[in-house]
């Protein structure tokens, strides 16, 4: 469940910034196939990579998790 929620949140942020997976991956310094599998909830993202994503996008982890995706 949490893997899918995290993936949906990453996809939501990426799309809100009009970034392709390739551009997003380059920006955060992760492989595109890794980002793809995380977005689909197939991979368990490490807290280190989650922190890397949020900080490279100018967000704190609190801001990342402050979403309706994680409520309820």
Output the pLDDT for position 57: 84
Of the two residues 67 and 57, the one the predictor is more confident about is 67
- Judge contact between 10 and 53, C-beta under 8 A: yes
d(CA 1, CA 6): 9
* Structure token digits, residue 67: 């979403």
Q: What is the pLDDT of residues 18-62, one digit of tens each?
A: 999 999 999 999 999 999 999 999 999 999 999 999 998 889 999
């Amino acid at each position: 469940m949490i893997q899918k929620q995290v993936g949906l949140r990453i996809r939501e942020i990426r799309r809100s910034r009009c970034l392709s997976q390739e551009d997003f991956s380059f920006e955060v310094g992760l492989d595109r196939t890794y980002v793809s599998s995380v977005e689909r909830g197939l991979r368990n993202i490490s807290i280190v990579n989650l922190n890397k994503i949020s900080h490279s996008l100018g967000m704190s982890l609190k801001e990342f998790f402050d979403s309706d995706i994680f409520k309820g």
